[in-house]
Amino acid sequence: MGARLRICHLYPELLGLYGDGGNLLCLVSRARWRGLEVDVEEASLGDTLPSGRDLYLLGGGQDRQQRAVFADALRTKAGLAEEAARGAVVFAVCAGYQLLGEFYVTAAGEELPGLGLLHATTLAGSPRLIGDVYAEASTPWGGGPLVGFENHGGRTRLGPELSPLARVIAGAGNNGEDGTEGALAGTVFGTYLHGPVLPKNPWLADLLLSLALGRGEPVPLDPLPDREEASAATRARALALARRGRKAPAAPSRPTRRP
């Protein structure tokens, strides 16, 4: 394709729980397999947010790391919001997802202000929501099956105008009550799914790449075989359903549209 993709990995040494760094490896690999050039830049505590990047990536972390990131990230609030408004993709997992919301209230009752890119709030709860998840995702550009592993104490509630990324079929999702998983606003994506999530859901990885390359307008991507990825997703889906005493249907649904 001859294009160049510019990725900024935010707080990689603090927000990389449960293999979330694999999301970066997945995006870089799938871009390079298509002949794209990829530049990756890291930004952490005290760093200036790099501007003009196509995709900003955040992972999950434990409470101590999360508190440090919340305090530091307020410096970048306006900058990241401007990048998203220009069509850059922001993809965040677990603690990173909570950071994109309005605020997070810890188990000790401390309120940590978020970046406000997503109109969602999170309160720490008990017990932790742990296990394999199978959901059906829907976006303005198509959707598909979404699988991964969740491990979070936070209960996230979406504002009335905020769309979930997916509807849960097996698992807890945002809060274990309303059947939602993750959130989507423009080109800002949040999810609780680890795994890492993108290698298990190549259609979602390609959607992020497509939107990032088109700055909010999806561009066509050359297809990839994805046989191994499809097999991993099928196993994860069956495991999620089995944990809840349900038998998996014979064949998984496929994405309704690929970028």
- CA dist 182 → 125, 224, 249 (Å): 17, 26, 24
Residue 194 bears catalytic tag = yes
d(CA 7, CA 23): 12
Which amino acid would we find at residue 122?
T
Query: Are residues 55 and 82 in contact, defined by beta-carbon separation less than 8 angstroms?
Result: no
Q: What separation in angstroms does the CA of 84 have from each of 34, 43, 51, 101, 201?
A: 25, 17, 11, 14, 23
The answer to whether the bond into 127 is cis (omega within 30° of 0) is yes
CA distance 129 to 148: 13
| 94 is a catalytic site residue | yes
CA distance 113 to 91: 19
Distances from the Cα of 250 to the Cα of 101, 144, 166, 234, angstroms: 38, 16, 21, 10
Q: Find the catalytic residue in 8, 9, 94, 152.
A: 94
Sheet holding 89-93, edge to edge: 37-43, 4-10, 55-58, 89-93, 188-191, 183-185
The pair of structure tokens assigned to 64 is 């101590």
Give the other-Cβ count within 10 Å of 56's Cβ.
26
Specify the 3-state DSSP secondary structure of 56. strand
Spatial separation of the C-alpha atoms in residues 156 and 39, rounded to whole Å: 33
Given the residues 9, 26, 152, 194, the one annotated as active site = 194
Residues labelled catalytic = 94, 194
